[in-house]
Amino acid sequence: MKHILFTLKGCPFELLDDKEFIRVLLYKATKECKSTLLDLVVHKFSPQGVTSIAMLAESHISIHTWPERGMAICDVFACGDTATPEDCVEYMKEQLKAVDIVSHEFVRSLE
């Protein structure tokens, strides 16, 4: 099981503050990491910011945006033999046009 915590920096305000863009981003990210989407919830804050979580059969993907700082704090947790969380991270970085990423990967165990 892999759990990747990552912060995307230098992202455009417009993308980070767009509820529909974030919804589609997480939907497509589940496909990129070969996971099974069970549910997807998105919340738009006022005056800005979006939080979303994709519940997966393999675990989850989450994003919390701070458009005013050009930043998104995210994680992807995946278990099983087919999921590729690294692909999700790269896809989200590209789609959000991040200029920098800080990432930490953890291998989780049930033991």
CATH number at residue 82: 3.60.90.10
In three-state secondary structure terms, 93 is helix
On average, the pLDDT of the chain sits at 95
Residue 44's Cβ-side half-sphere holds a number of Cα atoms within 13 Å equal to: 13
Look at 42 and 110; give whichever has higher pLDDT. 42
The count of residues in the chain is 111
Catalytic residue among 33, 52, 59, 60: 59
Q: Which two tokens stand for residue 59?
A: 């675990």
pTM beyond 0.85: the answer is yes
pLDDT for the residue numbered 75: 97
How does residue 20 score in pLDDT terms, banded at 50, 70 and 90?
very high
Catalytic residue among 35, 60, 64, 74: 64
Catalytic, 60? Answer no
Q: Each residue of 64-95: pLDDT tens digit?
A: 999 999 999 999 999 878 889 999 999 999 99
What is the C-alpha to C-alpha distance for residues 4 and 55, in angstroms, rounded to an integer? 15
Catalytic, 59? Answer yes
Q: Count the domains in the chain.
A: 1
Pairing of strands 59-66, 2-9: unpaired
Domain that holds residue 98: 2-107
Over 80: is that where the pLDDT of 111 sits?
Answer: no
pLDDT for the residue numbered 1: 86
pLDDT for the residue numbered 74: 98
